[in-house]
Structure formats: structure tokens, C-alpha cells
Amino acid sequence: MKSTGSILHRSIAAPYYRRHAGLFLFIFFLLFGLQPNFKQTLEFHYVIINGIATSAGFFFIALIIWFLFACKTIHFFYGCIKNKTYNFLQNLNAVSPEKRCIQLLLLQLQLLAPVLCYGLAVVIIAFINLHIAGGLMVVAALACLCTFTTGAAYFLLQKTKSAGLKIALPFFPFHFRGNLFSFLLKYIFIEQFIVLLLFKSVSFSCLYFFAKTDVLVFEDRMLWLLYLISLAGHSIFIYRNQHFMETKMMFYRNLPVKPFATLLSLLGVYIIVLIPEIWALKGVAIQQHAVINYIWMILTGPSLLLLLHCLLYTEDMKMEAFLQLLFGVWIVALFFSLSSYRWLLPMICLSMAIVIFFTSYYGYEKNTEVKGLE
């Protein structure tokens, strides 16, 4: 049993945290790095924890985020067992069902560790403040998540016992013409569905509640900082989109499509992707009565994402090089956002994106022998 648990830890749990280290660090920074000192960080999380234990709305939001995180772990587990190099995991089917459930449960406890740790903090604070009902609801929710993920892993393992498993992708009800715009939207909302939901949940929640803070304590520079961090987090989707276009859609370059139409398609895709953030920031115009600032934020988002996508055509970059370039662009964007010249930011981003795209698009060549990030 110990050797089985060690194998599952080394083959699934450890690679899971290594592969998503960047995402976890980004979320950790959002949750713990935005407060000026440790005391205010504790006070901030105490308010959140107390809200989860006492407010149905806060509890429901936390439950959705935890459920999406659980779905992400199942998605990763499914990706492992369908990989031929993980065929040794089928040996678990030779173990008795009881022992198999125990091993899968222990594995899920490792994968759900961030959620379980935060949930444990909620339970402790709830019991200390005598919110027994809220604490018990959190305990029940965490138990259901562990049961759900263990059952799903057990089911997936059984299905791959004799043949490959095929899981239907999330239903995409919209029908578009067969163009770059529709292909990219389907790739984002289907192939990256779970990661997109997790990221958008955190991004939307942070921007929404910050934009609705009291007028007396509202600080627009902090909101701009948070917004730019959220935009930087979209870099993983931008890199994957460009890799998808240059590997799975290489035929697109040979079609009689004008470059300007390609650029407009990319801009349209990123406008659609940023709809949750645009909606979350509406408090800037409604509560803070800063309509002009809201307009500049709306224009900055798609323009900055389009610029980052176009920068990938300057050379065949690996993810590490792209992140270094992203940091430089982010610093410049932060400088403009904290100054009185923030209205120049969307204009500069859009102008640079157009220039870089038309000067680099046809000269770009993807090294297809080196696998990118998918």
C-alpha cells in the first residue's frame, strides 16, 4: 500500500503541482501579496473566512471555486491515465475495490490540499466564533468534494481498463462560420475550459469586490494594479492560442485571408475573453462615478492582450522567454496606469500590436519539432 501511494504521488501529485506552479503562485500573490503588511493580510482573510461561515452568498462563491478546482484535478488525472506512458496505472484495477478507493482518496487529498487547508481554516474560525452550522456546512462540502473526485477517478480508471476512454467535451451551443475567430473561441472554451473557469472565477471576484468598495477608501491605482495582474495572467491562454494557430492550424496561412482580417479576429477573441472582467469593473462607473477611467480600462484590456499575442511573432519563443518579455511590457503598462497619462496606454498597445503584426507575421516560422505548451 505504501509503495502504491508513493508511485501515485510521484507520477500524478508531484507533476500536477510542478505543471501548475505558475498558476498557484499567481493565485497566491492575489490572495496574500496585495496587502501592504502581514497584519492586514490576516484581517483580509479573516473577513473572507468569516463571510464563508456566516453568509450564504460567500459560501456559494467559495463552493463554486472549490468545485472548479476539484474538476481541474480530475481533468489532470484523466490526462495522465489516457497517456500511454501511464499505462502502469492500470495495475490499480487488479487491486481490490476497497484498497483502490483508499489509494485514490489519498491521492485526491494531495491534489485538493490547497482547498482542504483553506477549508480547515474556515472550519476552525467558524467553531471558535461559535458558527457551528457554517462550520459543519464547510465540512460537508469538503467531504463531498473528496468523495466526488475519488469517485470520478475510480470511474475513469475503470473505463480505461480495456479500452481508451473518450469523454465528451463541454457542450458549445454556438455555431460560427469556419474562420479563425470561431476556431480560437472553440479552442479556448472547450480545450481550456476548466483552467479558464478557475482563472476567471478568481479574476472576476477580485475585480468585482474591489471595484465596489466604498468611495472614501477606493484607490483607482490599486485597481489598475490588480487589473494589470489579471491581464498578465491571460498570458498562458495567449501562448496556447498562438501555439495552436501555428501547429494545428498551419493551413490557415495558405488561405486567401487578409492579414488585417486575422488581426481583427484576434482582437475580437480577446474582447470576448475579457467580458467577465469588463462586467466586474462596471462598479468603477456605477459606484465610483469614474466613467472615463472605466472606458480606458475597457480599451486597455483587449489592446494589451493583442499586443502580447503579436509579440509572439517576433521570434519562436519558449514560455520562459515569453514570460520575461511579458514582465517588461507589464512594467511599462504599470507605469502608464499609475500616471495621469493612462489614456495613452490602449493607444500605444494597439498601435504597437498593428506595427509588430504586419512586420513580423509572414516572417515568423514555428519550429514544429519542439513541442510547445498545450
Same domain, 211 and 349: yes
Kindly state whether residue 200 falls inside one of the protein's structural domains. Answer: yes
Same domain, 217 and 269: yes
Kindly state whether residue 153 falls inside one of the protein's structural domains. Answer: yes
Same domain, 103 and 184: no
C-alpha cell at 73: 484535478
CB neighbour list of residue 193: distance below 8 Å, 6 or more residues apart: 169, 170
Same domain, 20 and 93: yes
Same domain, 223 and 346: yes
pLDDT score at 34: 65
pLDDT score at 272: 94
CB neighbour list of residue 81: distance below 8 Å, 6 or more residues apart: 89, 90, 156, 157, 160, 165
| Helices and strands in the chain, H and E counts | 18, 0
Of the candidates 278, 325, 280, the residue with the CA atom closest to the CA atom of residue 302: 278
Distance CA 286, CA 272 (A): 22
Helix (H) or strand (E) holding 226: helix 220-233
pLDDT score at 368: 52
Same domain, 283 and 341: yes
DSSP H helical ranges for 129-192: 132-159, 180-186
Report yes or no: 199 and 27 within 8 Å, Cβ to Cβ: no
Same domain, 135 and 218: no
Same domain, 119 and 205: no
Please give the DSSP secondary-structure letter assigned to residue 364.
Answer: -
Domain region containing 92:
2-159
Same domain, 67 and 130: yes
Report yes or no: 129 and 53 within 8 Å, Cβ to Cβ: yes
CB neighbour list of residue 286: distance below 8 Å, 6 or more residues apart: none
Kindly state whether residue 366 falls inside one of the protein's structural domains. Answer: no
Kindly state whether residue 208 falls inside one of the protein's structural domains. Answer: yes
Distance CA 187, CA 185 (A): 5
Of the candidates 50, 75, 19, 68, the residue with the CA atom closest to the CA atom of residue 125: 50
C-alpha cell at 82: 489516457
State if pTM tops 0.85: no
Same domain, 214 and 98: no
Total length of the chain: 374
Please give the DSSP secondary-structure letter assigned to residue 189.
Answer: I
pLDDT score at 323: 87
Same domain, 223 and 349: yes
Going from the C-alpha of 191 to that of each of 173, 186, 187, the distances in angstroms are: 15, 8, 5
Distance CA 325, CA 242 (A): 15
Kindly state whether residue 165 falls inside one of the protein's structural domains. Answer: no
CB neighbour list of residue 128: distance below 8 Å, 6 or more residues apart: none
Helix (H) or strand (E) holding 39: helix 38-54
**pLDDT mean values, one per 10 residues, the chain (374 residues):** 76 85 75 74 83 84 86 84 75 78 89 90 89 89 90 80 42 54 87 81 84 78 89 91 86 81 93 92 86 92 95 87 90 89 92 93 69 45
Cα dihedral across residues 130, 134, 137, 141: positive or negative: negative
pLDDT score at 349: 94
